[in-house]
Amino acid sequence: MAITGQTYDQEVVFKSRLDTHVTHVKLNKHEVPVWIPLQITEVKTNSVFLYMFRSSGVERMSPITLFTPLSSDLSGDVADYSCEALFKDGKDEKEQIGFLTQKFRVGIFSVDVNHTPPSTYTVTGLTSHGFQNDLHPFTDLSRNTQSEKETSFIEKGFRSLILSSTSLEKASPCLNLVFLKDTETKCINLFSTVNSKLTLPFQLRPVTEYELFVFRGKEIQTCCFKIEAIAHCSFISYMTQMEVFEMYKRAIGHTLSPGLIQCYDFCPVTHLYRNKPLLHFLNIYNNTNGIMFKYIKNFGGDPASTLNRKLHGLFFSAKVDPTTGLPPPVSYYGEQRIHIPVSFMITPDTNLYFADFYCHYVKHKVTLVVTLKGSEADEFCQKRLMPLNQSFNEFLFRSPDSNVAMVNTRVTVEVFYTESIDIVNLLESKCAYLTTVKQTGNPLLKTIVGIPKRKDCKICNLK
């Protein structure tokens, strides 16, 4: 359903045995035939329905006719029914959904979207009660349709969905009508399922914001569904390896910019460091047997990063002053700083990946990921990130026989280490050490939530 901005007036007629009620809705013109959901409300029981109207793509001269009552418990007075377009130009769909759930007898449930690389997305949290597919008004093309009477098709991507145009004698099961909206192109795709999840049958555009509107209900008349609950969520499609490579090239271009420094400016570092409040380290000493456990990555950096809420690890920094070679005297994440040898973290048994490039209005940052070879995290990164040569790359490298690494000081280099660390053992063996620095800001907020990248930066944003 591609919204073009051109609208036309469509007549809708509600009919009963004794009366007729005429109303009008504004519908969008489309380039191709599509299914358009019309929202029907009934005042007697505060019920909401979706009527799936097959549009030829242009203005329809004949009216859309709906017969009432839609079921025995509803009003037989056609004047008790109203109709409007579900998705209207210039109207916030989320506000419309909120209005429906507050005013009418419509519940709310939650859905989520899972990602499988390179670009497969699955909607989860849908209803699942073991319904039989042969009772389902929407079904896969693989179903034998020769016995069906009058069927029409929804062509979307790699799948054709079939909508039965005949009323079902048996009671219809609950099903989910899933509307996927590309917020940039305004294109809306329609799917349905009786299962607990739905895998989208085509690739989404990477680094794009999408919205999901899910209506759970039953078909009570041909193409007309009584809505029992509504779900809404929004998400940004992840970067594929191609986008990560494009981000990598942008980071390289930034470090080579003549406006910054004419030549490479690397500084030697012996330790990577991590800032945390004192209570964090006391908890490790007293409650976790000295282990600093890895945690799931927050939403800091690029919101389309494939690492967000997917990969566990510990963040360390390689940022140093190019003049003194020392870390900054101020921390945003806590007053205690643990320094761990770079030779402990980057070894012949690890792999190094480029993951992200972003900024927070000041200096640009690069996120590198260190994994143990053959680990689950390593397999995760192989499919999503760009591998780097640990012995030489443009950001942070170390020769296998050296205890010193070289770091590019034109960007802030962060290292996401994907293993838990026994810091007590490292401290007792004097391989690692602690220092105290000045803290500023709220470290808890930055750690749990993360700070998204600057949206209007033309250097580090792909769009």
Q: Which residues make beta-bridge pairs with 336?
A: 276, 436
Residues 222 and 319 in one domain: no
CATH number of the domain residue 34 falls in: 2.60.40.10
Q: Is residue 363 part of a domain?
A: yes
- Asked if residue 141 is part of any domain, the answer here is no
Of the residues 178, 204, 236, which one is the last residue of a structural domain?
Answer: 236
Residue 206 lies in a domain: yes
201-207-212 Cα angle (round to 5): 50
For 305, residues 6+ apart whose C-beta sits below 8 A from its C-beta are: 238, 239, 355, 356, 367
Residue 159 forms part of a structural domain: no
Q: Which of 236, 267, 292 is the last residue of a domain?
A: 236
Same domain, yes or no: 197 and 299 = no
Question: Residue 441 and residue 408: Cα distance in Å, rounded?
Answer: 26
* Residue-level pLDDT at 317: 97
Shared-domain flag, residues 85 and 113:
yes
State whether residue 230 is helix, strand or coil: strand
Under 8 Å between Cβ of 85 and 73: no
The answer to the question of residue 459 being in a domain is: no
How far apart, in whole angstroms, are the C-alpha atoms of residue 314 and residue 421?
A: 9
For the CA atoms of 452, 454, 460, 461, the dihedral, rounded to the nearest 10 degrees, stands at 90
Do 320 and 206 share a domain, yes or no? Answer: no
**What does pTM read for this prediction?**
0.74
Residue 201 sits in the same domain as residue 318? no
Same domain, 187 and 286: no
320 & 434 share domain: yes
Q: Does residue 231 share a domain with residue 283?
A: no
CA distance 140 to 302: 36
- In single-letter form, the type of residue at position 324 comes to T
The strand pair at 396-398 and 433-436 is best described as: unpaired
396 with 425, same domain?
A: yes
Number of domains within the chain: 2
How far apart (Å, rounded) are the C-alpha atoms in residues 333 and 445?
9
pLDDT at 171: 52
179 and 275: one domain?
A: no
Counting Cβ atoms within 10 Å, is residue 165 exposed (0-12), middle (13-18) or buried (19+)?
Answer: middle
| Final residue of a structural domain among 236, 255, 270 | 236
Domain that holds residue 211: 7-128+170-236
Q: What is the pLDDT along the chain (463 residues), one digit of tens a residue?
A: 544 457 888 999 999 888 999 999 988 887 778 888 999 999 888 899 999 888 877 777 889 999 888 777 888 899 999 998 888 766 677 777 887 887 887 888 999 998 887 778 999 998 754 333 333 334 332 223 332 333 333 333 333 333 333 333 345 678 899 999 999 888 888 888 888 899 998 889 888 999 999 999 988 888 889 999 999 999 989 999 999 999 999 999 998 765 544 445 899 999 999 999 999 999 999 999 999 999 999 888 898 898 988 899 999 999 999 889 999 999 988 999 999 999 999 999 999 999 999 998 888 999 999 999 999 999 999 989 999 999 999 999 999 889 999 999 999 999 999 999 999 999 999 999 999 999 887 665 555 556 788 889 999 998 7
Are residue 101 and residue 210 in the same domain, yes or no?
Answer: yes
- Which pLDDT value is given to residue 209? 92
Residue-level pLDDT at 463? 76
First to last CA, the chain: 24
Classify residue 205: in a domain, yes or no.
yes
- Three-state DSSP class for residue 407: strand
Domain co-membership, 204 together with 250: no
Structural domain contains residue 135: no
- Residue 155 placed within a domain: no
